[in-house]
Chains A and B, each alone.
Chain A
């Protein structure tokens, strides 16, 4: 039973355009959401996060949107650059009440930025 789903295994975007990566989750008790980026032969690298009390967080070219009613998270990258080509994972952290400090990861979306 997947608690976090990234339904698009891959995405191809033209350089300079906007990349939109999506993530759906099942449990309304999740309270903290993150995006990680992963290059081949490296570990995931933290990119940006958002807590459940917000609906948007921006950091440079990266913006994360949270729609709690739809249980949907998205990452916008604009403008997209060739160096953004990587696998992107969304991750969620269950609330403290559930006694968990661990992250649950989606399956990842491979983003390719075409020159």
Chain B
């Protein structure tokens, strides 16, 4: 079984540029989560979707961040404009049902110069 697939694995870009992170969840999973991991704050939830609908975006740091899930097999996390403090590892995870564990992708390491 293919796991959660994230792209790109690494992204380096200049401050002010738009950044788009992509995620393909595991087929059949109906919940998708976006996390950010930093040294200071650890692993924190940004937003999650159930059946492609955003349920809780209270973790999104500010309006520069947006996430979409146009269909069950694809989601994007966009940062526009990006800032150096957005540098972190961004993880996507999916889950089949509330009583099942989340499965994580290998993350996107984002560096904003």
Contact = CB atoms under 8 A, between A and B. Distances in A.
Interface of A: 32, 34, 36, 41-46, 49, 89, 96, 100-108
- Tell me which of B4, B42, B48, B91 has the highest count of chain A C-beta atoms within 10 A of its own C-beta: B42
22 contacts: A36-B104, A41-B106, A41-B107, A42-B106, A42-B107, A43-B4, A43-B93, A43-B104, A43-B106, A44-B104, A45-B104, A46-B101, A46-B102, A49-B101, A96-B98, A100-B56, A101-B48, A101-B55, A102-B56, A103-B102, A104-B45, A106-B42
Nearest to B9: A41
- Tell me which of B4, B43, B55, B106 has the highest count of chain A C-beta atoms within 10 A of its own C-beta: B43
Given A89-B43, A101-B98, A102-B56, 19 more contacts: A32-B99, A42-B107, A43-B91, A43-B93, A43-B105, A43-B106, A43-B107, A44-B43, A46-B101, A49-B101, A101-B48, A101-B50, A102-B33, A103-B33, A103-B45, A103-B102, A105-B42, A107-B42, A108-B43
Nearest to A32: B99
A44 B3 CA distance: 12
Contacts of B56: 100, 102
A2 to B, nearest CB: 9
Contacts of B104: 36, 43-45
B42 A108 contact: yes
B31 interface: yes
B50 A44 contact: no
B6 to A, nearest CB: 8
Interface string B16-59: 00000000000000010100000000111100101000011000
Nearest to A46: B101
A14 B45 CA distance: 34
B68 interface: no
